[in-house]
């Protein structure tokens, strides 16, 4: 029989996680004091003691729930045996009470980036095409198809990104929450990977008028289809204006830039119980290195952070930033209430199959991505990043909505951890995919960039994988290494966060 | 000077609409009793009398608003001079009180359609690929690209439609309103233009599990990416399963079917003041012909129907159907309330520029599409059509959301009227675009299929354009004529209606 491998994250934990791929069979002798009473699947929890009903179940040194019934030592603690605790009461949370001390700066790290006129630096050199409304999409698709055929003439341009979305008309443009999708569209247009250039395609009668995004757009940068004399003239006008920008973009070259010019987004998707033990702590370690090198790091996913927010508010650098974090949580609580949604709606069937009993356990694993740095700022969904260091960008956890919001905030690269596995990719920025388990990295050898599963088996450490990831980020940002998603051209569509009604 | 042309729709109207392309200049003598006091733009309203403040402004024989201030005869009545009336109180509305008499049946009309095993009939023969979650989109795009290169081997197949959407995970799957996007995805998969075949691509850990859409999906019809050994195997599995279906689809041929097998959706977008005078009444006339021929006709757009609903509830065939119509209106009122949205949020800047002062005026023009038949059924968003005859399918007015919901309801062809102009097209069904003005049809000669602007100038009548449209529908449904959108391949993305929160 295979040797049983189990991991415990915190000395106070009264559960451990099974590492073995096939789980451990009933009767497995784990050590003198512990025998598995039943089959326990990989990444699921075993009881280290006898639990009375209502006794605390502790993981990460935190209460992840209460035993619904007595649970005997050596049993499998699956989701049905765990009662969800209350979400932390927001008002009472301490803010800025345990601001981490500044870590020693990491000097001398650089990457090869594209410098923009506004001081930002891109990791790619792409033509972005902003749309004001979905009405233009059918025509723009055809123009982009024809433009892509011209790309060999512009070898220094990495690609063309039409920003399709379903916003712009048939929406409540003056609803209080309309500010979210509108600023997201605007800020996406200014992502550093788009070189400071603007090309906008609108219809002409939509609610989201171009001037609501940018004042005084020069004629060279704007196409309004209703001003065209038919379909082919529309396509030709888009192409002519795009080609002028492609010519300018093609003259750009990478230059040595300090690592502090990087803006890196962190995300997880398809999580399992290893996410919080292997991949996310490694992301957190890399995040700390990036912050020490002066870079900007964003972590997100409100509904996953909500149940661990009491661990984050003390790390905010001021009462103001702490309050902003509480405000974002409260906004989301209210938003879910309006839709009659339970907060435990976040974990997916895959999460639960992967051993995450509930949103609390998922949260504690998710926030491991944030590392140990002070939280210097909190952004609302789609707001532009304002400070170097670690920022909480409040976005939904949905991989596509979070990715879109982080791109609007200005990330130029994303690191994405996955346990169950997703082939996720973004057109606008490279996505480095980190697996939580070795089995996934082996099976998806042509999709997973970094394997953090070696941390669970003892072949590597959080520090070693985190350091590798840090160096990999610099190489990908420099265009020296290509992520698998970029290698294959795997691109998920943008997905705006629009909490306001459609009409 | 050009001869002034004005139109009045109803004898009780106290305003008329300017037809002349450049409007009419101040001082224009319209007739003995009427002189334009100021420049009045095309499709805008002129006052036929002196209005006291708060006096009723009447168009279509209905009150579209009240004069905010005294308005002198011959003045331009622009949106700023019109106060919005109250929306009709739903509870008090009479239902089934003026059920139109059945019109004489139209016999002998047929089209060449594709007969499906379930008795429905398609106007196209396409391979649809259902997705359970956006995670699969990046991989599926690449597989579809490669499949399209194989299409020349299947000359009787009209195309491949991957159904990308942003639903499936990161959403509140158990929220009360989640039923809407879920049934839409399911019913889209069963659209008659997809030949009764099913191919579904899922990830494996998403919230929208395949079994929630269809029970017992055979292995040949389902691909779960997490079961694949990497990227290329995913692509190959999708292609292999798709090719089997393409082979079956390629054996299908069109057959003569009665016109009663047609399911036609009606929509308007980019409306102007002519929409309700030319194009929409012509659509209404064609709708009556279709109903007389035994076909199914859907009209939609709740937020545009809301202010004219008092004209529709009396036409419902039973108290039950009338109540369902009220319930749908009430649901939407509540939905807009939750988002703090004003009901007059529907008209766009383009609508207003086009002479539509408010949502009431827009509504009265919009419901002209429904013709004069009894309303036999009311569907909630994305529900499948149940009856032949005229059905109100309650959807948002957004062109893409409405189009997607109507496709889920089972339309096999859409007729789309536009005043300001939009290049709208759907992948899943042909879209016939009807312009409200001759100028648009001339300018967009390669986008507009039918010009209803001739009705305003007296060159044609509602009856003649409506009859032409009826014949054109049969020809397009038969594959004998191609719409401009299909000619160019103009395809707007699907857009699900998801009123529930994202997480
Ligand atoms: Ca996550
Ligand atoms: Ca996520
Ligand atoms: Ca399978
Ligand atoms: Ca409309
Ligand atoms: Ca519409």
**Facing B490 at nearest CB: one of A138, A342, A499:** A138
**Neighboring chain A residues of B207 at a CB cutoff of 8 Å:** 348-349
Span B112-130, pLDDT tens digits: 999 999 999 999 999 999 9
Span B280-300, pLDDT tens digits: 999 999 999 999 999 999 999
Fold of the domain spanning B120-249: Rossmann fold (3.40.50)
Separation in Å, CA of A140 to nearest CA in chain B? 9
**Neighboring chain A residues of B201 at a CB cutoff of 8 Å:** none
Q: Nearest residue on chain A to B486, judged by CA atoms?
A: A138
Span A186-245, pLDDT tens digits: 999 999 999 999 999 999 999 999 999 999 999 999 999 999 999 999 999 999 999 999
Q: Nearest residue on chain B to A204, judged by CA atoms?
A: B350
Ligand showing the shortest atom-to-Cα distance for residue A400: 2
Q: In the structure, what pLDDT confidence band is assigned to residue B1 with cuts at 50, 70 and 90?
A: low
Best of B170, B180, B340 to substitute, by most chain A Cβ atoms within 10 angstroms, is B170
Separation in Å, CA of B434 to nearest CA in chain A? 15
Label residue A372 left, alpha or beta by phi (over 0 means left) and psi (-120 to 50 means alpha): alpha
Q: What's the A303 CA to ligand 5 centre distance in angstroms?
A: 34
**Facing B209 at nearest CB: one of A342, A349, A500:** A349
Burial of A148 (0-12, 13-18, 19+ CB in 10 A): exposed
Q: In the structure, what pLDDT confidence band is assigned to residue A342 with cuts at 50, 70 and 90?
A: confident
Q: What's the B182 CA to ligand 3 centre distance in angstroms?
A: 22
Percent of chain B with pLDDT over 90: 88
Separation in Å, CA of A439 to nearest CA in chain B? 11
Tell me what pLDDT residue A456 has.
92
Interchain contact, A443 vs B230, CB within 8 Å: yes
Helix/strand/coil (H/E/C) assignment for every residue in B290-333: HHHCCCEEEECCHHHHHHHHHHCHHHECCHHHHHHHHHHHHHHH
**Facing A135 at nearest CB: one of B138, B339, B422:** B422
Contact present, B399 and A135 (Cβ < 8 Å): yes
Span A395-428, pLDDT tens digits: 999 999 999 999 999 999 999 999 999 999 999 9
Residue A8 above 80 pLDDT? yes
Q: What's the B365 CA to ligand 4 centre distance in angstroms?
A: 9
Q: In the structure, what pLDDT confidence band is assigned to residue B87 with cuts at 50, 70 and 90?
A: confident
Q: What's the A366 CA to ligand 1 centre distance in angstroms?
A: 6
Burial of A53 (0-12, 13-18, 19+ CB in 10 A): exposed
Best of B161, B212, B340, B348 to substitute, by most chain A Cβ atoms within 10 angstroms, is B348
Interchain contact, A490 vs B231, CB within 8 Å: yes
**Neighboring chain B residues of A229 at a CB cutoff of 8 Å:** 443-444
**CA–CA separation, A6 vs B209, rounded Å?**
30
Nearest CA-CA partner of A66 in A358, A271, A362: A358
The number of beta carbons lying within 10 Å of the beta carbon of residue B216 is 6
Q: In the structure, what pLDDT confidence band is assigned to residue A159 with cuts at 50, 70 and 90?
A: very high
Sign of the CA dihedral running A62, A65, A69, A71:
negative
Q: What's the A30 CA to ligand 1 centre distance in angstroms?
A: 31
Q: What's the B422 CA to ligand 1 centre distance in angstroms?
A: 38
Q: What's the B111 CA to ligand 2 centre distance in angstroms?
A: 49
Residue A346 above 80 pLDDT? no
Interchain contact, A166 vs B495, CB within 8 Å: yes
Span B163-199, pLDDT tens digits: 999 999 988 888 889 999 999 999 999 999 999 999 9
Tell me what pLDDT residue B344 has.
72
Separation in Å, CA of A442 to nearest CA in chain B? 9
Domain boundaries along the sequence of chain A: 6-83, 126-249, 263-488
Ligand showing the shortest atom-to-Cα distance for residue B271: 4
Architecture of the domain delimited by A6-83: Roll (2.30)
Tokens of B266: 């009606």
> Edge-to-edge strands of the sheet including A110-115?
A121-122, A110-115, A255-258
Q: In the structure, what pLDDT confidence band is assigned to residue A445 with cuts at 50, 70 and 90?
A: very high
Nearest CA-CA partner of B265 in B159, B362, B382: B382
Tokens of A94: 């301490």
Contact present, A194 and A128 (Cβ < 8 Å): yes
Separation in Å, CA of A215 to nearest CA in chain B? 17
Burial of A458 (0-12, 13-18, 19+ CB in 10 A): exposed
> Edge-to-edge strands of the sheet including B56-59?
B56-59, B62-67, B82-83
Separation in Å, CA of B352 to nearest CA in chain A? 9
For B173-316, strand residue ranges (E) read: 200-202, 222-224, 255-258, 263-268, 296-299
Contact pairs from chain A to chain B, CB under 8 Å:
252
- ipTM of the complex, rounded to two decimals: 0.93
**Facing A171 at nearest CB: one of B398, B500, B503:** B398
Best of A205, A234, A345, A489 to substitute, by most chain B Cβ atoms within 10 angstroms, is A205
**Neighboring chain B residues of A350 at a CB cutoff of 8 Å:** 203-206
**Neighboring chain A residues of B495 at a CB cutoff of 8 Å:** 134, 166
Residue A172 above 80 pLDDT? yes
**Neighboring chain B residues of A444 at a CB cutoff of 8 Å:** 229-231
Phi, psi of B182 (to 5 degrees): -65, -45
**Neighboring chain B residues of A351 at a CB cutoff of 8 Å:** 205
> Edge-to-edge strands of the sheet including A82-83?
A56-59, A62-67, A82-83
Interchain contact, B424 vs A135, CB within 8 Å: yes
Tell me what pLDDT residue B313 has.
97
Contact present, B184 and B404 (Cβ < 8 Å): yes
**CA–CA separation, B175 vs B189, rounded Å?**
22
Contact present, B493 and B400 (Cβ < 8 Å): yes
Ligand showing the shortest atom-to-Cα distance for residue B369: 4
Contact present, A299 and A414 (Cβ < 8 Å): no
Span B359-403, pLDDT tens digits: 899 999 999 999 999 999 999 999 999 999 999 999 999 999 999
Q: Nearest residue on chain A to B444, judged by CA atoms?
A: A230
**Facing B397 at nearest CB: one of A170, A339, A341:** A170
Tell me what pLDDT residue B2 has.
83
Separation in Å, CA of A444 to nearest CA in chain B? 4
Q: What's the B223 CA to ligand 3 centre distance in angstroms?
A: 5
Best of A348, A395, A433, A499 to substitute, by most chain B Cβ atoms within 10 angstroms, is A348
When pLDDT is averaged across residues B253-265 and rounded to a whole number, the result is 98
The number of beta carbons lying within 10 Å of the beta carbon of residue A475 is 14
């Amino acid at each position: 029989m295979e040797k049983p491998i189990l991991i415990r994250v915190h000395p106070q934990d009264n559960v451990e996680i099974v590492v073995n791929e096939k789980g451990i069979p009933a009767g497995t002798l784990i050590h003198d004091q512990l025998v598995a009473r039943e089959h326990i699947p990989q990444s699921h929890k075993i009881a280290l003691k006898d639990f009375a009903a209502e006794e605390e179940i502790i993981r990460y040194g935190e209460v992840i729930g209460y035993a619904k019934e007595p649970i005997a030592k050596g049993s499998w603690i699956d989701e049905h045996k765990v009662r969800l605790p209350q979400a932390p009461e927001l008002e009472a949370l301490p803010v800025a009470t345990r601001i981490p001390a500044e870590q020693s700066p990491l000097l001398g790290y650089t990457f090869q980036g594209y410098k923009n006129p506004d001081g930002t630096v891109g990791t790619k050199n792409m033509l972005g095409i902003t749309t004001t409304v979905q009405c233009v999409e059918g025509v723009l698709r055809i123009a982009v198809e024809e433009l892509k055929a011209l790309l060999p003439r512009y070898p220094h341009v990495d690609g063309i990104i039409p920003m399709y979305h379903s916003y712009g008309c048939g929406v409540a443009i003056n609803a209080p929450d309309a500010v979210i999708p509108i600023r997201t569209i605007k800020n996406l247009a200014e992502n550093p990977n788009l070189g400071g250039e603007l090309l906008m395609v609108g219809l002409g009668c939509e609610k989201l008028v171009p001037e609501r995004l940018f004042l005084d757009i020069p004629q060279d940068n704007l196409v309004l289809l209703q001003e065209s004399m038919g379909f082919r003239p529309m396509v030709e006008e888009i192409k002519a204006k795009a080609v002028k920008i492609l010519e300018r973009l093609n003259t750009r070259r990478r230059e040595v830039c300090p690592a502090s010019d990087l803006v890196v987004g962190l995300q997880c998707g398809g999580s399992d119980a290893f996410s919080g033990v292997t991949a996310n702590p490694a992301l957190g370690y890399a995040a700390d290195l990036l912050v020490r090198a002066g870079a900007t790091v964003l972590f997100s996913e409100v509904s996953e952070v909500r149940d661990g927010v009491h661990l984050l508010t003390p790390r905010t650098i001021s009462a103001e930033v702490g309050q902003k974090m509480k405000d974002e949580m409260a906004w989301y609580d209210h938003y879910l209430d309006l839709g009659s949604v339970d907060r435990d709606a976040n974990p997916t069937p895959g999460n639960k199959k992967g051993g995450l009993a509930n949103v609390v356990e998922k949260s504690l694993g998710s926030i491991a991505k944030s590392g140990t740095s002070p939280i210097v700022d909190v952004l609302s969904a789609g707001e532009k990043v304002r400070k170097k260091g670690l920022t909480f960008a409040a976005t939904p956890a949905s991989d596509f909505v979070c990715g879109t919001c982080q791109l609007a905030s200005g990330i130029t690269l994303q690191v994405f951890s996955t346990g169950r596995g997703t082939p996720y990719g973004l057109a606008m920025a490279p996505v480095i995919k980190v697996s939580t388990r070795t089995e996934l990295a082996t099976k998806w050898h042509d999709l997973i960039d970094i394997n953090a599963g070696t941390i669970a088996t003892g072949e590597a450490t959080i520090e070693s994988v985190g350091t590798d990831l840090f160096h990999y980020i610099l190489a990908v940002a420099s265009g020296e290494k290509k992520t698998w998603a970029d290698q294959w051209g795997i691109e998920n569509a943008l997905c705006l966060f629009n909490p306001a009604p459609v009409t």
